[in-house]
Amino acid sequence: MRGSIKKLGENKYRVTADIGRDPATNKRKQKVVTVKGTEKDAEKALAKIVLEADRLLAEAVAGQKQAAHKRTDDLTVEGYLEEWFEAVTHDLRDNSKAFYRRLISYVKETDIARLPLAEIRPPECSAGN
């Protein structure tokens, strides 16, 4: 089980459950609750927290997959490259940014740039198109 139980006193327990990571900071997220009752009650509380965290994670992943599928249906290669460039430029040096911008401009001059990303297959990606 992802978590721990610590006895605080007579019929009192601290339940600490790992509930995933913060997507923005990648730091661990934990939920801490105090349970009055038996150790069995604390174990049940821990299990309930972990199950709820798993359910929320599963819903979030399913939602992301569905949103990504809808978004890529009408996204072109050119649009994808622009989105990618915007997403990575904050970590790149100026020379690298210029290099990638130049490569993207070369792709924009080809027919492949206007194709929907979802329709790209290996023959379209071969040299000469």
pLDDT in tens, 20-64: 777 778 788 889 999 999 999 999 999 998 888 888 877 777 766
Q: Which domain holds residue 120?
A: 77-125
For position 75, what pLDDT does the model report? 84
Strand locations in the chain (E): 3-9, 12-21, 28-36
Question: Domain check: are 11 and 58 in the same one?
Answer: yes
pLDDT over 70 at 124, yes or no: no
**Number of structural domains in the chain:** 2
Measured distance CA(34)–CA(15) in Å, rounded? 6
Phi, psi of 32 (to 5 degrees): -120, 130
Are 115 and 80 within 8 A, CB to CB?
A: no
Question: Domain check: are 106 and 68 in the same one?
Answer: no
Question: Domain check: are 44 and 102 in the same one?
Answer: no
Are 71 and 83 within 8 A, CB to CB?
A: no
Distances (CA, A) of 122 to 21, 52, 90, 128: 36, 42, 31, 13
Question: Domain check: are 9 and 69 in the same one?
Answer: yes
Question: Domain check: are 87 and 120 in the same one?
Answer: yes
pLDDT band of residue 74 (cuts 50, 70, 90) is: confident
Question: Domain check: are 109 and 60 in the same one?
Answer: no
SS3 3: strand
For position 85, what pLDDT does the model report? 86
Question: Domain check: are 62 and 93 in the same one?
Answer: no
pLDDT over 70 at 105, yes or no: yes
Measured distance CA(58)–CA(128) in Å, rounded? 43
